[in-house]
Structures are given as C-alpha cells and as structure tokens.
Structure 1
C-alpha cells in the first residue's frame, strides 16, 4: 500500500513532501513555502528548484557574455600587470551590460536565498536529518558537497520527528493508491 499526498488547491502548501513533483509543482511549492522550515520536501521538489535557480543564474551570465562578445568585444580592454596574465576592463557599454547582469544575479540571489534555505531544511527533514545541518552551506566547498550528498539521500519517513512536522498540516491529506 502506497500513500500519496493529495495535492489539491489546499495541498500546494502541505507540509508533506510531494514525491514525483513536476517542475511547475516544485516551483509553486518553492515560493508558497517561502519561509516554512517545518515539514518535508521530496527530492524532486528540491532538485527542480535547485536546477531552476542554477539555470536562471546561468542564463543571465550567458546572455551577458553573448551580448558583450557579439556586440562589444572591441570594447573589452586587457591591461597587463606585472607578471603573467592581465586584468580585464569593461569600459563603455560592455561595462553596463556586465553591471546589469551582476545586479540581476544579485536580485535572483536575494529572491531565492530564504526559500532555498527553507527548502533545504525541509529536504534534510525528509532524509531523516536535522534541519540545522543547512548551516553547512556556509562552509565553502566541503559544506556544499555534503549538502549535495544530503539532497540525494532517499526519504526516511520512519526517522521523522514530531517537532519537524508542520503544525499547519496537522491532518495529512492522503489517499490510497489504486492498487490497494
């Protein structure tokens, strides 16, 4: 007997994980559960959101690079410093494009940082780990690698703790699968 969360209109903010979430469902839950640190998040919810954030940052960077390379490549100046290499300067329009892309990158970060932290917190709960392990995010490289590994871990419903449950979801909305 497999139980599935009934994701009706009210279920979009359910504290239960949505296993097999589509991209659209994951993004809706990512923003609707903006700062909810209680409850659980499935791997699909987590990976769709992470891929979307990464893809947005990548798209902004690629668009800026293409614009600079195609239209303003002669505007980029390499200033030789002592020793090997040099410093790239972006005067004129290329500097404006670069600056605008950095502002957009920062805006995406500001909009996504709290929901990403809460999503990771809930994903850790779903994997049977305490949410405060999200602070490994602040340990460069090693912490990020550990969190990626934690995001890959399977769900561990048997390791859930009552204090992790979302009080707004006191009665889980579940339905039996057709095969039961």
Structure 2
C-alpha cells in the first residue's frame, strides 16, 4: 500500500527514477481497485451495460491518469531511457510489448542522467 501512496504523493513528478517494485505495485493496486469499482458499479446499478461505461471506474481512472503516466516516465528513467518512450504505448500491440519489456527490465546500476539509483538508496 505504501508504494501506491508514494506514487500518489508524487502526483505529477516526472523527474527522477522509480524502481520496478514501485511501478508494478502501483499497477497491481490499480487493477484491484478497477475490479472493485466495477463490482460496486454493478451493485449500485450505475453501470450502463449497453455502453460498457462505469461511473466510479471512469472517475477513478481519471484520478490516477497523471500519476500513472508520471510513474511510467520515472520507471523509464530508471532503465536509462527518456520518458518520451512512454508514447510508444500508443502503437497498438507492438508498442505495448516494447513498453512491457522496458518496464520489466532491471534498474540501471548507479547514477544516470535522471538521478541516483533508488535501488541503492533503499539498500
């Protein structure tokens, strides 16, 4: 939970680096929260079945959009890449696969142009 809250505290911080742990725990919590909001939408009855639109899920997705982009950029920084690589995700399938490969790679050891390694600071 702390990894998720740390990302929210850095709401629009696009500088620095983010460890794999920080990124993937944020993604995991978002998946769990999206599932929960989908269930709540179904129970409350605000889900419109014809349009696959869920009110609470959409509001949550909008609330975490900027932090998700920011942690993705910081994760790319941690692998030694510029944050602009996040735009490759706009290419269907191929872009997503490339971005997934970048996100699962280990941190670049030591300091790079984006800052010192958060992995070494935590050790």
In the comparison of the two structures, how many residue pairs are matched? 116
**TM score, norm. by length of structure 2:** 0.80
Deviations 1:114-135 (A, max 9, x none): 0010100000111111111011
Q: Who wins on radius of gyration, i.e. which is larger?
A: 1
Deviations 1:72-110 (A, max 9, x none): xxxxxxxxxxxxxxxxxxxxx8xx4314x6111111111
Q: Distance in 2 between matches of 1:144 and 1:26?
A: 23
Contact in 2 for aligned 1:127/1:153 (Cα 8 Å): yes
Residue 58 (structure 1) shift:
1.7
Residue 64 (structure 1) shift:
4.3
Compare the two structures and name the one with the higher helix fraction.
Answer: 2
RMSD over equivalenced CA pairs, Å: 2.6
Q: Distance in 1 between matches of 2:92 and 2:59?
A: 22
Residue 63 (structure 1) shift:
4.3
Compare the two structures and name the one with the higher strand fraction.
Answer: 1
Structure 1 counterpart of 2:10: 33
Does 1:55 pair with 2:32?
Answer: yes
Q: Aligned runs of 1:87-166 on 2, under 5 Å?
A: 96-99=45-48, 102-158=54-110, 160-161=112-113, 164-165=114-115
Contact in 1 for aligned 2:38/2:56 (Cα 8 Å): no
Contact in 2 for aligned 1:126/1:155 (Cα 8 Å): yes
Unpaired runs of at least 5, structure 1: 1-23, 68-92, 167-173
